[in-house]
Amino acid sequence: MKPSTSIDLKVSIGDLVLNNPVMTASGTFGYGEEFAPYGDLNHLGAVIVKGLSLEPRTGNPPPRMMETPSGMLNAVGLQNIGVRAFIREKLPFLRRFDCAVIANIYGETVEEYERVAGLLSRASGVAALEVNISCPNVRRGGIAFGAEPDAAAEVTRRVKAAAALPVMVKLTPNVTDIAQIARAVEEAGADAISLINTLTGMSVDVEKRIPHLANVTGGLSGPAIRPVALRMVWQAVQAVSIPVIGVGGILNARDALEFLIVGARAVQVGTANFIRPTVTMEIIDGISAYLERHACRSVTQIIGTLKTPEAELRRGGGGERT
């Protein structure tokens, strides 16, 4: 079905306006150029690039990946070319496209986060920053900042002060109370939050009695984590008033719509990019087709429209809205 062009897919994340609510999750879309031969990047809401650190990072030894039931474990270890090489070598290509470019940033120390944020703020062509305080595959930094509300708030505050761009903070699901972390990050000045990063996991080769990953543990992604992600996004939406971006196991438009309906302002597609490099385009078309079928003129008409008994009560026992 060819979706009608009259449907407005635009969403705003603070000051940042996206052509549509579909972004590519960091670490699953390279620096964009890997996917350009397969589809038109102009169609995407945003490209979020592989996490950038101040200096290049070698990453973890192989094997780094194992497919598991309905998902995959990875322990890449934030291998990246470093923020300066990104600005010099990768950003000029991405600037040619209409989609927003969001730089995912990572540091081992708060100072490193600040410096990466500063460098990217001075580069032209970056629309926003996504602060990775949730990588489970590195010894220092990453999840160490994201699992504790005070540390998460501190990184957020410092990046926000160093950056001249909207700041989105990517949260880890490996916490007891996601609402508490979400609130801490909001109070520290985040413009948006995205969740979830991968769940820590493990897999063993029983014949050899060795872990499938050289790093022993890794981050679980894919549809296996989607119900967890959806629950956490729903909780975060109720805990904060800044935009929430839903991530976790989205394979198709239906999956993306689940997140939008529970209140995510936009979504990120991750592991699915590895399965079909054109999947994001298919998801955008699928969302349009759904909106048309439900007689919605704008995607904003379905965001946060989950009908629960409590929501119905708050609405005064009201009936159908669409």
Partner 1 sequence: MKSKEIAPGAVLFNRALTPEHFLLALSLTPSFARPVPGQFVMIRPEGVGPQLLSRPFSLYGYRGRRDGSRIELLYRTIGAGTRQLAALKAGESVEILGPLGRGFTLGPDVDEVILLAGGMGVAPLTFFAERLGRTKAPPRVVCYFGARIRDELIGLDRLSPLCSELHIATEDGSCGERGVITDLFAARMRRHDTRRAAIYACGPNPMLQTLSRILAGTSLRCQVSVEERMACGIGACLCCATAVAMPGRQVSYRRVCCDGPVFNLRDLIWDMTPDHSDSRGCTSP
The binding site for partner 1 (CB under 8 A) comprises 27-30, 34-42, 50, 58-67, 69-72, 74, 76, 79, 207, 214, 222-223, 251, 271, 273-278
Q: Which residue has the tokens 């501190």?
A: 154
Which CB, 149 or 270, lies closer to partner 1? Answer: 270
Cα–Cα distance for residue pair 275/208, rounded to 1 Å:
28
Q: What is the dihedral of CA 254, 259, 263, 267, to 10 degrees?
A: -110
Nearer CB in complex with partner 1: 78/267:
78
Give, as one character, the DSSP assignment of residue 48. Answer: E
CA distance 46 to 43: 9
Considering only CA atoms, which of 248, 260, 320, 263 is closest in space to residue 286? 260
Q: Residue 116: enclosing H or E segment and its boundaries?
A: helix 110-122
- Give me the phi and psi of 265, to 5 degrees please: -75, -25
Q: Which of 59, 34, 32 is nearest to 46 (CA)?
A: 32
Sign of CA dihedral 177, 268, 45, 83: positive
Closer CB to partner 1, residue 38 or residue 308? 38
Q: Are 197 and 45 in contact (CB under 8 A)?
A: no
Which of 41, 135, 244, 299 is labelled catalytic? 135
Q: Which two tokens stand for residue 218?
A: 């890794």
Q: Are 260 and 267 in contact (CB under 8 A)?
A: yes
Tell me the closest approach of the beta carbon of residue 92 to partner 1, in angstroms. Answer: 16
Nearer to partner 1, 26 or 288 (CB): 26
Helix, coil or strand: residue 156: helix
Please state the closest distance from residue 132 (CB atom) to partner 1, in A.
15
Among 52, 43, 107, smallest CA distance to 84 is for: 52
Residue appearing with tokens 């904003």: 300
Please say if 296 is a catalytic residue.
no
Tokens of 142: 């990453």
For the record, the structure tokens of 146 come out as 């994201």
Element (H, E) at 84: helix 83-85
Active site residues: 135
